[in-house]
């Protein structure tokens, strides 16, 4: 998942330890640390774990993120992993998680238009029915 501390809090560490051993968990962490932060599918769909960042001006910035790396408490990498859409926002807002930001429909719409994208596909939030659209179906949260 996003980082070692999150894996411990949400049970992946315990599952690996109980079923196999902590060495396997560390191997998974090494693998996760090398996964891409985001991907663009068919030049129209941006996929990431979390969401947008006020620091993201160009998609090339994502390519410049050094991997592997620890996830910082602030900044582009943090936001791509942990920001959330919020219906009540008109712009950027504080995130109740205590990390990263929330962003409104206007931020989403402007970002998609600027970058010639049609959709953002993300995860990070538990949603009923396994998926939830936001911003006139311009963002979808998928949770499994």
Could you list the active site residues? 1
Q: How many CB atoms sit inside 10 A of residue 11's CB?
A: 10
Q: In whole angstroms, give the CA distance from residue 123 to residue 37.
A: 13
Measuring CA to CA, which residue among 22, 29, 52 is closest to residue 124? 52
Helix H, strand E, coil C: the string for 108-122 is HHHHHHHHCCCEEEE
Q: In whole angstroms, give the CA distance from residue 11 to residue 13.
A: 5
CA separation, residue 69 to residues 2, 59, 115, 141 (Å): 11, 19, 26, 25
């Amino acid at each position: 998942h996003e980082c070692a501390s999150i894996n411990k809090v949400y049970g992946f560490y315990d599952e690996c330890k109980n079923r196999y051993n902590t060495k396997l968990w560390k191997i998974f962490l090494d693998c996760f640390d090398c996964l891409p932060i985001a991907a663009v599918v068919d030049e129209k769909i941006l996929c990431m774990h979390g969401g947008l960042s006020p620091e993201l001006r160009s998609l090339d910035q994502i390519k410049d993120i050094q991997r592997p790396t620890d996830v910082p408490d602030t900044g582009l990498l943090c936001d791509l992993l942990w920001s959330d859409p919020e219906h009540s926002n008109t712009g950027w807002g504080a995130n109740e998680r205590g990390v990263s930001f929330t962003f409104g429909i206007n931020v989403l719409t402007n970002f998609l238009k600027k970058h010639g994208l049609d959709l953002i596909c993300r995860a990070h939030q538990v949603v009923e029915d396994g998926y939830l659209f936001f911003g006139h179906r311009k963002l979808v949260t998928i949770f499994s």
